[in-house]
Structure 1
Amino acid sequence: MLFTHVFSTVENDLQHLNTNLKTMVGARHPVLNAASEHLFSAGGKRIRPAIVLLIAQATLGQQLVRSSHKRLAEITEIIHTASLVHDDVIDDCNTRRGVGTVHNVFSTKVAVLAGDFLFAQSSWYLGNLNNLEVVKTISKVITDFAEGEVRQGLISFDKTISINEYTEKSFYKTASLIAASCKGSAMLSEVDIEIQNKCYLYGKHLGLAFQIIDDILDITSSSKFLGKPSGSDLKNGNLTAPILFALIESTELQILIDKEFENQDDINHAINLLQMTEGLQKAKDLAEEHIQTAISSIQSLKNNNIYPKLILLSQYVLDRLY
């Protein structure tokens, strides 16, 4: 219900976006085309493009959202989807959004090529916005994705990483796209640099909170709710905020991670141990801190009629836990 209310003002644009995405990524090769169709038919809430459209409404005032904003929203979703295809290959996930992943349905080779193709398509459409500053801002995100994946791979099962290092990695993997898209949307509205930067900070901290909540849900939710296997972060040695906080309290959990869950039931045992600690609550508290920072970042938009929607959006990110 909250989701529907938050995005009510951009609902029509999101419906058009779903149609446009399939047209935009249409590939000449039938296998790539089938992979793209498979990806976008799986749906998803389209949170990232919705944020782009809400920022557009907030920064345009009484003006109608421009076609360039709508195109940026579509580009944002294509970039996000491309990153998921590569993530699923790296993490060897069998399902995503409740359906088989591209590498599972087709092959790893097709999945890698499909991800590359989507990144290439997004870059082409980005260039056609004819706004160099927006191109610079959004294109940096693709570099950040690669940086985040490399960092994650290098610190697998590493108990010594700090919360700051975890936050930095989360920025590269998740928050960078949301932050850059918010700023890009404000740029297309031609507002001053101060407002652009505030929109960037709003997106950054919203994105960090979003990732922390995702990391909590990976532990607390069922595979059916997640649309992907639960506990996959833990299994792959990706030590997230709730795990890092729990490690401070549980020596037994430390031992299981040192042994990289060598026994069949070790993951379930680790999740049970984690739930006996303050790890989940401390992670939630950290997410709430980022939400408060996000809200503080856009105080200058307080007199805008879209401002309450941006606050509700922040609340929606936290409410995914319930």
Structure 2
Amino acid sequence: MTPATSFFSPVEADLRILADNLKQLVGNRHPILYAAAEHLFGAGGKRIRPAIVLLVSRSTMLEQEITPRHRRLAEITEMIHTASLVHDDVVDESDMRRGVPTVHSLFGNRIAVLAGDFLFAQSSWYLANLNNLEVVKLLSEVIMDLASGEIQQGLNRFDTNTSIETYLKKSYYKTASLIANSSKAAGLLSDVSQETAEHLYGYGRNLGLAFQIVDDILDFTSSTDTLGKPAGSDLISGNLTAPVLFALEEKPYLEVLISREFAHVGDLEQALALIEDSQGIVRSRELAAEHAKLAIEHLAVLPPSECRQALTNMTDYVLSRLY
């Protein structure tokens, strides 16, 4: 087991069932889409999002077995996440994801876009069949948020006036919304109180933000092999993340380099050196740690259990990726 999946031991059997079900949910009516889905779901992802849904489900159903609806919610969560990755890779023109070729690099852009659309549509259909209007609303909002985050990122390319607040809002849309709303939805399927449901949302929101901030730090501190994509790729594409925004406060010349979109030879290398020489990475680490701490505080509402401890450990794992 990887450091991430070792936290999933209370739901390990559930995740095995989920892996088998995912391919069946897509169905084989469309051979190309089925091949794309099989490639995606076999790509060795950590399954962090469905694991969180299953851990929340079990930590709110301590006296009884989780229901088929809890399991289906975990599957829907992974389908939505995977659909968003397919579209992201097309937009970002990424050839590799998790160390394997992306759908569009294997099947072309047209099939990749349709495969992403198909997965979103399938997840929406299975969502409607849960027959819980509040849960349907929560997960439908996630799909809107994913699109909003991608649009906002596109509009803010190379914009050195982007604030940390705007960055966090985009990070919520792109990453935290799915974790927050699916955690809350799992609680609602367990009939928890509205107050507990809001705490579950708060856990997912802060964990998701910490996760995204850490990802954005790793874009500067990890090797291409570790990331499965070129290091510094966010900056090259004009996506200004926390380390850059903090560095901009200290290094005025960084703004010049970014504004001209690294047009001159050596611009990118100079920008990376300025970021490394600033407090950008350190301050980003502090911001991630702050959100991880807030996530843990929201778990106090749950009774002690192995699954609650696993949810707590998840915040440690997110931060440990930096070291």
TM-score, scaled to structure 2: 0.96
Give the distance between the partners of 1:97 and 1:212, measured in 2 at CA: 18
Change (3 A) 1:86 1:4: closer
Show CA shifts across 1:72-95 (max 9, x none). 111100000000111111111111
1:298 counterpart SS class: helix
Show CA shifts across 1:155-208 (max 9, x none). 110010110111111111110000000001001111111111110010000000
CA positional deviation for 1:265: 4.3
Bigger drift between 159-168 and 13-22 goes to: 13-22
Deviating above 6 A after TM superposition, structure 1's stretches of 4 or more consecutive aligned residues are none
CA positional deviation for 1:29: 2.1
Give the distance between the partners of 1:208 and 1:278, measured in 2 at CA: 20
Change (3 A) 1:250 1:305: same
Contact preservation (8 Å) 1:52, 1:185: yes
CA positional deviation for 1:54: 0.6
1:306 counterpart SS class: helix
Show CA shifts across 1:90-141 (max 9, x none). 1111111111111111111111101000000101111111211111111110
Q: How does 1:86-165 map to 2 (within 5 A)?
A: 86-165=87-166
Same amino acid, percent of matched pairs:
57
Bigger drift between 136-145 and 59-68 goes to: 59-68
Contact preservation (8 Å) 1:222, 1:230: yes
Is 1:190 equivalent to 2:183 in the alignment?
A: no
Give the distance between the partners of 1:203 and 1:263, measured in 2 at CA: 42
Is 1:286 equivalent to 2:308 in the alignment?
A: no
Q: How does 1:53-68 map to 2 (within 5 A)?
A: 53-68=54-69
Tell me the equivalent position of 1:270.
271
- 1:129 maps to a residue whose letter is L
Contact preservation (8 Å) 2:5, 2:46: no
Tell me the equivalent position of 1:78.
79
- 1:219 maps to a residue whose letter is F
- 2:245 maps to a residue whose letter is L
Contact preservation (8 Å) 1:93, 1:229: no
Show CA shifts across 1:259-288 (max 9, x none). 101245433332222111110010010011
- 1:261 maps to a residue whose letter is F
Is 1:313 equivalent to 2:314 in the alignment?
A: yes
Is 1:202 equivalent to 2:203 in the alignment?
A: yes
Change (3 A) 1:20 1:264: farther
Show CA shifts across 1:221-269 (max 9, x none). 1121112222121111010011100111122322210110124543333
Give the distance between the partners of 2:180 and 2:91, measured in 1 at CA: 24
- Report the RMSD for the aligned CA atoms in angstroms: 1.4
Structure 2 gaps, min length 5: none
Tell me the equivalent position of 2:300.
299
1:261 counterpart SS class: coil
Contact preservation (8 Å) 1:69, 1:185: yes
Change (3 A) 1:200 1:264: same
1:260 counterpart SS class: coil
1:238 counterpart SS class: coil
Is 1:248 equivalent to 2:255 in the alignment?
A: no
CA positional deviation for 1:305: 4.0
Change (3 A) 1:100 1:305: closer
Give the distance between the partners of 1:4 and 1:94, measured in 2 at CA: 26
Structure 1 gaps, min length 5: none
Contact preservation (8 Å) 1:231, 1:267: no
Contact preservation (8 Å) 1:35, 1:114: yes
Give the distance between the partners of 1:31 and 1:211, measured in 2 at CA: 32
TM-score, scaled to structure 1: 0.96
Give the distance between the partners of 1:25 and 1:143, measured in 2 at CA: 21
